[in-house]
Each structure stands twice: as structure tokens, then as C-alpha cells.
Amino acid sequence: MTKQDSVPMNDLKRLYDRYQVEIEREVASTLRSGWWLNGAMGKRFAANFSRLIGVSECVLVANGTDALEFALAAVVKLDATRGREVIMAANAGGYASCACWHNDLIPHYVDIEPASQLAGVQSVLDAASADTAAIVITHLYGGVVDVRAIRAGLAEAGLAHIPIVEDCAQAHGARIGSDMAGSLGDISTFSFYPTKNLGAMGDGGAVLASNPAAAEHVRRLQQYGWSSKYHVGVPYGRNSRMDEVQAAILDVLLPALGERNEQRRAILGRYKSVARHRLQFLEGGEGAVAHLAVTLCDDRDAFRAFMKERGVDTEIHYPVLDCDQIGWAGLPMKGTDNLAVSRASVSRLCSVPCYPDMTNEEVEQVCLALAEWEAM
């Protein structure tokens, strides 16, 4: 099979080609303005994005990991809880764990649901206690955790004060019922890494909230902790800004988010239609946005070699649980003995290409390879 027959996991040049005229117009206008940080484009995109999600405040930051760190700092400070534990899943790539340790907090890992690989509602509620400082809910792979059910369970247990941070880095535009991911918790975070459902052409992130005090705390943290220029009002701030060019690009792509999510869902639907007993594609819920097409496969190495022979790239999201990373072995953490589903799944996960700029021929090539694997 020739190189041009291969199906890549993603091809960002196609995205650029599709929106080249609009992107170049807005980028050129931004550059000509001479205002490249903290300007009108950032304000415009922040307003448009917060309107889409359904919250009042949006603070643009340098990346999604900073967003998580700032969001945790804001809710823990404002909640004034005495706990230091942060409940989270261990299978989401390590970003929430990093944010936790950088805030001198302790990750408390909980198990996931087999069919979705999302944090289990009951697992979260079982772990919640007076020691819990916050809960991070990661809407992994474009699926959506039922945050409303977690809120109801916390209230029933007398723990309604525990703040919920939504990590929406893989869930731009996802919904549960009529509610948009990012509007369900006390505060939410997004990454605009280029391969996201809404991606920039560089790094970028955002923190969203309907609590003005939380948003204001994040604004201070992302600009050195300033309360006013050159006057530090809170500790542990840094420089974490999204530049105007990235905001301009994101504002161009934002109106197409819904359409592109539908294209992702359609591609994943075609894959599911050929999966039988050897492959199990994850189910993220009715409002999921198919950030990735992830399957559980018993013989992953053989499957990846099989797909490569047929010109289809694959990837693993993610190959190591947070609690098993060698570099983090000496850091404080809890819940590592109660992750049966997470541990049983981590060696079976495999992603195949799923992005809106795939051609019909490429999708069919992946489907044929999947069907052939199933028939063996």
C-alpha cells in the first residue's frame, strides 16, 4: 500500500485549507491592528464562547493545563474548605493530576464505567467526604458525565458545598440533555490544542464560570497575581495569556463547531456499524461529540499492526494511568487500590482516525479494515 493511501490520525492542513480565506482575513486584520495581546479579538471570542456554553464569564489562558490549575485554585480558595483531596479519574492523561499537585492538593482517584470510560457517578459519590476539596469531572473522548446526578448525590449526602470542576478539553459542544458541557459545574476548563473539536493553530485554553468572584481570581492568577498593573494582589500568579491571533482563529472556527461535531458523530457511527464481537467502541452518551473514536480491543498490538498494514494509523489515549506514572510515584495520591475497571481497560484502548476533514474514501477504508478484523 502506497504512502498516499494511508489514513492519518489527523491532518490539520485540511482544516486550514477549508477555512483559509476567513482565517487569513482575520489574522491579517489582527496583525495590522498592532494589538496582539489582551485586545479586542480575545474579548470577542471570550464573549462568543461563553454565550455558546451558557455561562457569564470566560477567561482566556495559555493552555488547558493552566486552565485546570487556575480553576482548582479559584474554587478551593473561594470554597474555604478544609479538605485537600480532589476526586478525579485516573485515565485522563494526567492533566488534572498535574493541576492538583501544583495546588498542593491530593488526587483521589475513582473508577470508571466500562462502556464509556468516564468517571462513574457512584464511584465519585462513594469517594466524597469532608476531606474533599473539589471534584474534577473529565468529559473524556467527547462523552459527558452526568454532573447533575453527582450534584444531587452530594446534596443528599450533605456535601453540596463541594465544588465541581468540569474538564471539557475533549468536549467542546457536548451536551447532556439540553445542558452544555461546561455549564454544569461550578467552573469549567477548555483546551484549544490544535486537534481538539475546537482547536487553535497553537496552544490556548479557557476557564468559564458564572461566579464573577471565581473568574476574577483566575484573571489575577493568569497575569502575575495582579490586582492592578504592577501590584500583586494574590500569590502564585504567572503569565498565562492567549494571544490575539489564536483568539481570531478560534472565533472564525467557532460557528462551524456544531456542524463539525455532527461530522465526527457520523464517522464514529459508521465505525460502530461494522463493530461486532472483537471491537467495542465507547459510548459517551447521546450528546457526545466524538472527539476520538476509541475502541476496546483484547489484542491491541495485533490490531494496531493489522490496521497499519491496511494503511490506517492508530493511537493510544492513554497508555498509562496517572497513578502508575513512574515520575509521579513519590507524589501523594489516594484511591489507587479501587481502580479495577481502569486497570482492566488501559491495555485494551485503541483510537482510530475520526475527524471532520476525513474523506469518504478514508472513512470507508477504515470501515473495511475494521470489518476485516471482525471477520477473522
User: Any idea which fold 14-255 has?
Assistant: Aspartate Aminotransferase; domain 2 (3.40.640)
Q: What is the mean pLDDT of the chain?
A: 96
Q: Could you confirm whether domain 256-375 is CATH 2.130.10.10? A: no
pLDDT average, residue stretch 170-176: 98
In 3D space, the residue among 40, 215, 71, 229 whose CA is nearest the CA of residue 136 turns out to be 71
Residue 239 corresponds to which cell in the numbers above?
A: 503569565
Confidence (pLDDT) at 2: 43
* pLDDT class of 81 with cuts at 50, 70, 90: low
Residue type, 164: I
DSSP 7: B
Residue 303 corresponds to which cell in the numbers above?
A: 490490531
What three-state secondary structure class fits 228?
A: strand
* pLDDT class of 74 with cuts at 50, 70, 90: very high
Domain boundaries, the chain: 14-255, 256-375
Confidence (pLDDT) at 4: 47
Confidence (pLDDT) at 5: 77
| DSSP sequence for 241-285 | --BHHHHHHHHHHGGGHHHHHHHHHHHHHHHHHH--SSEEE----
pLDDT average, residue stretch 7-17: 98
**Cα–Cα distance measured from residue 172 to residue 167, given in angstroms and rounded to the nearest whole number:** 10
For the cut 50, the answer to whether the pLDDT of residue 1 exceeds it is no
* pLDDT class of 77 with cuts at 50, 70, 90: confident
Rg (CA), the chain: 21
Q: How many residues does the chain have?
A: 376
pTM, two decimals, is: 0.97
pLDDT, one tens digit per residue, over 297-318 is 999 999 999 999 999 999 999 9
pLDDT, one tens digit per residue, over 248-272 is 999 999 999 999 999 999 999 999 9
* pLDDT class of 129 with cuts at 50, 70, 90: very high
What three-state secondary structure class fits 24?
A: helix
Residue 343 corresponds to which cell in the numbers above?
A: 486497570
Establish whether the linkage from the previous residue to 318 is cis, with ω within 30° of 0. yes
Return the number of other C-beta atoms located less than 10 Å from residue 82's C-beta. Answer: 8
Confidence (pLDDT) at 3: 45
For the cut 60, the answer to whether the pLDDT of residue 21 exceeds it is yes
pLDDT average, residue stretch 95-117: 97
Return the number of other C-beta atoms located less than 10 Å from residue 2's C-beta. Answer: 6
Which residue is associated with the grid cell 472483537?
Answer: 278
